[in-house]
Amino acid sequence: MRLAPVLAVGLGIGGLLAGAVPAVAKPVVPPTSSALTWGPCPGEQKELVEAGAECAHLTVPLDYSGPGGRTLRIAVSRVKAKDRAHRRGILLSNPGGPGGAGLATTVGLRATLKKVADQYDLIGFDPRFLGGSTPVRCDPAGTPEPPRTTTSPRLDFEDGVRRSRSTALRCARHDGNAALLPHASSRNVARDMDAIRAALGERKLSYYGVSYGADLGAVYTQMFPRRADRIVVDSSTDPDATQYELFRRAGRPLEEGLDEWAAWTARHADTYRFGRTGPEVRATVQKLLDGAERRPVSIAGTRLGAPLLRLFLRQFVQHQEDDAALARTVRALADAAAGHDVRPNPELAAMLDFLNSPDVADSMTGGAVFMCGDAGWPAGGWPRDPRTYWRNMERSRGDQPVFGPLVNDMTAPCAFWPSTPREPAVRIGNDVPVLMLQARRDNNVPYDGALALHRKLRGSRLVTADIRSHGVFGRGAEGRTAVPCADRAVTEYLGGGALPAADVACPAPGGRREARPAGGRDGGRR
């Protein structure tokens, strides 16, 4: 996911919604015991402390259908509007995942929103069961088995199935989880958001969400349309696809992204020595993966099999600015596979440090809780039979040799998950005004999915950028190339302006063309 580490949340893909159309939810009226008592933020939340934020916990029902029963605590942060004369209300956000804690996320938008941020009370929150909110814990993963010295694609797959079954079992047997897990849903996170709104005494809320956070914004517009003020969703997904379908659909865009990278690397053949054509560069990658499917690559004391190498490749190929980092990483891995003594480049070293940390297995719990427990996001659809994954992986190798085995695999432990959702899925279909952003060459949540959601959100306008990226708004603040046209659209809209009169296609960063209409409601469909 864009803001939550991909390695920590599976593949970080956004997903969304399928099933019966619900009635519009009633605005949440929190119990009298849920008043917010503000105080200092935790010391480890340095960004919030530096921003002068205050923090509190909001008490909400575990089950909104029985509000008099068990309760949870939701961690909330606030930076009050500095421009009180032009205050517009409250602005919430979600950083994606699923599994991303978001207490400081809204504060991070200030760098791009600039003066507009001063017009809002900036409200951050950790979704239920994550971060500083009431957590879900699973039994410890224990000491992992040492990696194999020799392997095969089938053995790698069976190892992954065992890990998935173990994760599900650890979460099932932990004390108290049977009562909690069925309530890990985007419906309930949206209800918690509305409870925050109500506790703050606000009639409406504004919102920015990216990836899973974008899909959560769509859920909120469906459940609480009259409470939605200015909603911005960045990098969203097809509302009618199952989660497993969404993973699988990323395969071809990922291969196309790798083609782009290979062409770039070929133009820098003297530096990286992979060949002077894109096919030659790709052949180096394929040779590396084919070898790792027999004998994992040993580097800096860590053995890396083909599934991990594919995950590393996916992490880097998402953003065009990471082409050099990916080339350095592949160079180091190829040299290590050839038996050379290699010092990992900084990007690879950071990934190895994460893999070798004692908390790596437990860090995936938050993503699994929502990925497997939510009928509204993700939209279910995980096959129960492991043989289905294996067949899809093998079939994909013909036209998706690098990423097909990854996106068709049992990425999440949902086939073995111990709970089932308590509610049907949310189905999107409304005319709430929404500003949508999407990169045309997003290979995490592909462009066609955003077009599908755009058609369902009939009041939306779509701003597209012809870049390879996951996330469009605020790229400059992340050290990437900004898309000024998109940043301006968000800032003007949140600052009180109208939605664009039509969909907008932004020029590529660095280009000279002005933003132009994108060609109707399909946003300039390919």
Asked about 442 being catalytic, the answer comes back as yes
Find the catalytic residue in 164, 211, 419, 460.
211
- Amino acid identity for residue 241 in this structure: A
Q: Please check whether residue 368 is in contact with residue 171, taking contact to mean a CB–CB distance below 8 angstroms.
A: yes
Q: Please check whether residue 81 is in contact with residue 74, taking contact to mean a CB–CB distance below 8 angstroms.
A: no
Instruction: Say if residue 378 is preceded by a cis peptide, omega within 30 of 0.
Output: yes
**Helix axes 306-317 and 278-292, enclosed angle (nearest 10):** 150
- Amino acid identity for residue 440 in this structure: R
Q: How many CB atoms lie within 10 A of CB 65?
A: 8
Query: Which tokens go with 40?
Result: 């200092």
Find the catalytic residue in 34, 319, 470, 503.
470
Of the candidates 195, 241, 223, the residue with the CA atom closest to the CA atom of residue 34: 195
Residue 96's contacts (CB-CB under 8 Å, 6 or more residues apart) are 1, 2, 3, 4, 12, 14, 209, 210, 211, 212, 213, 214
Query: Which tokens go with 215?
Result: 């899909």
Asked about 470 being catalytic, the answer comes back as yes
Asked about 290 being catalytic, the answer comes back as no
CA distance 368 to 201: 33
120: left (phi over 0), alpha (psi -120 to 50) or beta: beta
Residue listed under structure tokens 């989880």: 177
Query: Which tokens go with 223?
Result: 């459940």
Q: Please check whether residue 448 is in contact with residue 477, taking contact to mean a CB–CB distance below 8 angstroms.
A: no
Residue listed under structure tokens 């992954």: 160
Cα 318-319-320 angle, rounded to 5 deg: 125
Q: Is 384 exposed, middle or buried (0-12, 13-18, 19+ CB in 10 A)?
A: exposed
Of the candidates 504, 69, 166, the residue with the CA atom closest to the CA atom of residue 365: 166
Find the catalytic residue in 442, 454, 460, 503.
442
Query: Which tokens go with 224?
Result: 């609480």
Residue 32 has, within 13 A of its CA and on its CB side, a CA count of: 0
Q: How many CB atoms lie within 10 A of CB 198?
A: 18
Residue 32's contacts (CB-CB under 8 Å, 6 or more residues apart) are none
Of the candidates 216, 137, 140, the residue with the CA atom closest to the CA atom of residue 181: 137
- Amino acid identity for residue 108 in this structure: G
Annotated catalytic residues are: 211, 442, 470
